[in-house]
Amino acid sequence: MTGSDAPAGFRAEARAWLEANFPPSLAYRNPVPYQNDAAFAEADADWQVWRDRMAAQRWGAPGWPVVYGGAGLDAGDVRILAEEMARIGAFNPMKMTGYTMLGPTLLEYGTDAQKAAHLPGIAAGRVRWCQGFSEPGAGSDLASLQTRCTDEGDHWLVEGQKVWTSGANHADWCFALVRTDTSAKQRGISFLLIDMTTPGVETRPITLISGSSHFCEMFLNAVRVPKDNLVGRINEGWGIAKRLLQFERDSLSEGRGGGASLLPLARERLGVDAQGRIAEPDVRARLIRHAMRVQAYNLTRARIGAGIKAGIPGDAMVPVLKNLGSDVAQDRADLMLELLGEQGLGWTGQGYGETEIEAARQWLHSRAFSIYGGSYEIQNNIAAKRTLGLPDAPVRK
């Protein structure tokens, strides 16, 4: 990828369309994860235009079958499209929970009816999903969940509480893990789709240290769910969830190497010396190391992507990439704060520019990268066991 050649084929097509249709006002502005919920984005007129154009082009779910709202592109063209978007700081507006997590899971495990019912709305960015997995006190030990789901003959009856349900307050639907057998741990869990408008579903936002509230508590009080909304078989939801979590980790590590280069900001805020070097040697050394790791990380994503295209499985890399992605993104947020100095500490109000406020919020939010989607520690445990084949620690189960 030297960028020196003129593009041809699908790359040329994608580039032309993106240049004609992507609103420049949005460049490099998404994802803004600490407030990356639909309600925020939809308040932006350009964002709406962009979503609708992408929906019409079917490039919000470029690799999905046409019958389910996708464009049916092959993996190579999907990658080219992503590269061309990254080139100009564009993004996929459909890339929310439904698209990154539930979509691929339904494609693998859903019935034809479930796929037809749910995928087109996701591909068009019209139906918002949330993930009802975590429960209070469970933390990383997901399988200890307690939300009960009982078979009432013509429907399921669900009773319990979820937490860390991202975007639940704006979501139309929820995919949830529920306990259908209390005598087993993993083997007593099922995977259920719940309409958020069902009576008995209530949500309450949790305020985070970054000031945003896209996480919620979700209360399920005698919620009646149609029998058809079970994905896979009863008590086999844990396997589906593990697969879905792979998609999640994968989507979380994507884009971590993104964002505009810190170089212009660094030159502006730190100044340059007589040799044209950034004037503060200590910060400069850290900026260089960061730039190198970002490039190596992005080369790694490209390499693994090319391998997958050629049939080399990339699953073993997923937990490692998740942690590397958190690292580079947190490092970037740290450096941004360092560059801004006193101007990077603003919470609201006058005295601070929009980017300055955003840098502070983003820095606070970045600490979550190594917690959600499976913590840093959990990823390391998984990688030690599955990727490296190291022996099990004698953990009491």
Partner 1 sequence: MAVLTEEQALLRDMAAEWVADRAPVTALRRMLHEAPGTGYDPALFADMAAMGWAGILVPEEHGGSDFGFVGVGLILEQLGRTLVASPLLSSGLVGVSALSLGAGAVQQAAWLPRIATGEAVVVLALEEEGRHDPSRIALAATREGEGWRLVGVKAPVPDGMAADAFVVAARVAGDGRDGIGLFLIPSDAPGLSREPLARIDGRGAARLRLDRVTVGDDAMLGGAETGGALLDHILDRGRAGLAAEMLGSATQAFETTIDYLGTRTQFGQLIGSFQALQHRAVGMYAELVLTRSAVEAALAALDADSADAPMLVSLAKALAGETLHRVAREMVQMHGGIGMTEEHDAGLYLKRAAVADATWGSSAFHRERYGRLAGY
- Spot the catalytic one: 135, 236, 248, 356: 248
For 89, the enclosing helix (H) or strand (E) is none
Taking CB under 8 A as the binding criterion, the range among 81-89, 189-197, 292-300, 388-396 that sits at the site for a copy of itself is 388-396
Q: Which amino acid is at 254?
A: E
* Partner interacting with residue 274 (select from a copy of itself, partner 1, none; CB below 5-8 Å by kind): a copy of itself
Q: CA of 99: how far to CAs of 60, 61, 94, 107, 364, in Å?
A: 9, 7, 6, 11, 26
Distance, in Å, from the CA atom of 261 to the CA atom of 268, rounded to the nearest integer, reads 13
Distance, in Å, from the CA atom of 180 to the CA atom of 178, rounded to the nearest integer, reads 6
Taking CB under 8 A as the binding criterion, the range among 9-17, 102-110, 248-256, 283-291 that sits at the site for a copy of itself is 283-291
Distance, in Å, from the CA atom of 148 to the CA atom of 221, rounded to the nearest integer, reads 10
**Does residue 136 interact with a copy of itself by CB under 8 A?**
no
**Does residue 277 interact with a copy of itself by CB under 8 A?**
yes
What Rg value do the Cα atoms of the chain yield, rounded? Answer: 22
Work out the burial of residue 207: count CB atoms within 10 Å of its CB; fewer than 13 is exposed, 13-18 middle, 19 or more buried. exposed
The set of residues, in sequence order, having a beta carbon less than 8 Å from that of 96 and lying 6+ positions away, is 36, 38, 125, 128, 129, 167
Q: Any catalytic annotation for residue 108? A: no
Omega prior to 31 cis, within 30 of 0: yes
Taking CB under 8 A as the binding criterion, the range among 15-23, 52-60, 277-285, 359-367 that sits at the site for a copy of itself is 277-285
**Does residue 284 interact with a copy of itself by CB under 8 A?**
yes
Q: Which is nearer to a copy of itself, 311 or 396 (CB)?
A: 396
CB of 393 to a copy of itself, least distance (A): 8
CB of 302 to partner 1, least distance (A): 8
Q: Which is nearer to a copy of itself, 112 or 282 (CB)?
A: 282
CB of 73 to partner 1, least distance (A): 20
Work out the burial of residue 158: count CB atoms within 10 Å of its CB; fewer than 13 is exposed, 13-18 middle, 19 or more buried. buried
For 210, the enclosing helix (H) or strand (E) is none
**Does residue 282 interact with a copy of itself by CB under 8 A?**
yes
Residue 180 forms beta bridges with which residues?
Answer: none
**Does residue 276 interact with a copy of itself by CB under 8 A?**
no
* Partner interacting with residue 142 (select from partner 1, a copy of itself, none; CB below 5-8 Å by kind): none
Q: Which of residues 166-205 bind a copy of itself (CB under 8 A)?
A: none
CB of 281 to a copy of itself, least distance (A): 4
* Partner interacting with residue 342 (select from a copy of itself, partner 1, none; CB below 5-8 Å by kind): partner 1
**Does residue 288 interact with a copy of itself by CB under 8 A?**
yes
**Could you tell me the two tokens for 367?**
């600490």
Number of residues that bind a copy of itself (CB under 8 A): 10
Candidate list 1, 43, 274, 388; residue touching a copy of itself; CB under 8 A: 274
Q: Which is nearer to a copy of itself, 273 or 315 (CB)?
A: 273
Q: Which is nearer to a copy of itself, 227 or 277 (CB)?
A: 277
Report the relative pairing of strands 129-132 and 148-151 from DSSP bridges. Answer: unpaired
Candidate list 4, 8, 396, 397; residue touching a copy of itself; CB under 8 A: 396
Distance, in Å, from the CA atom of 283 to the CA atom of 332, rounded to the nearest integer, reads 12
Other Cβ atoms less than 10 A from the Cβ of 45: the count is 10
Residue that is written with structure tokens 């529920």 in the block: 178
Residues found near a copy of itself in the complex (CB under 8 A): 274, 277, 281-282, 284-285, 288, 394-396
Please list the active-site residues. 248
